[in-house]
Structure 1
Amino acid sequence: MSHLSILPTLVNDLDLLASALRAEGFAVAIGGQLCSFGTQHNVALAATHAKGIALGWSWNRHHDSLNVVVDLGRPSQAVSVEQALSRVLRRYALQKALSDASQQNLAVAGVDNQLTIPSPASVR
């Protein structure tokens, strides 16, 4: 069964989030809409991927952060949604850390732009 899930995150920079989503191949619309069961839901940011993944991000009224709004009920896409969301959040965290370091005038030696998820056999 398909339904929208709202998951809290620590994401609080809409511009960095949009950048991370674009880098992972998503088309991004600020102030967009997410559709579920023929109903449009207004979100602060809507992101769609060619693989059929749609993510929405709405501001949490109780915290200065964004909630991810996603349809996790489609069994055929659950794994790809989880993997895509994980990659986006990792990229966001990296960009946020680099941004924070830059604002504090800290030196950053360099960062590989490719993000990979290690397999259990490659983790040491």
Structure 2
Amino acid sequence: MTLDELEQKIIRPTFKDPRVHFALVCASASCPKLVRRAYTAENIDAMLDERGREFLADRSRNPLGTGPAVTVSSIFKWYAEDFAAAAGSVQVFIARYAGHYAPPCLMSNTCKLEYAEYDWTLNAQPGQRP
């Protein structure tokens, strides 16, 4: 089984929680950052919320903008169904986790979503070669 199959066939259907997209890391530059602590039954809900806020606060991955067009990670395009199912729309989901970074048009569903080009290059640690 590949990691993609694990995500698509087990994790997404089992958990039905779009926040998993902030925890799954494919080691590319545009992926969410890898955390240095384990997800446990006690902390997973809080950690997934934290990961969502951190991912949307990262301007290199989600430039956002002020509207009427808002640029976000391609992850929101690829898994739009997951995000919309959780919040009614992708825009509202993004607004919930972007907090004060969110332009007002997100909550009102009047923003046009644009998607940042995904950088598939290897995500190396600072000071290390990829």
Length-normalised TM-score, structure 1:
0.28
Q: Of Structure 1 and Structure 2, which has the larger fraction of its residues in strand? A: 1
Q: Rg bigger for which structure?
A: 1
Q: Of Structure 1 and Structure 2, which has the larger fraction of its residues in helix? A: 2
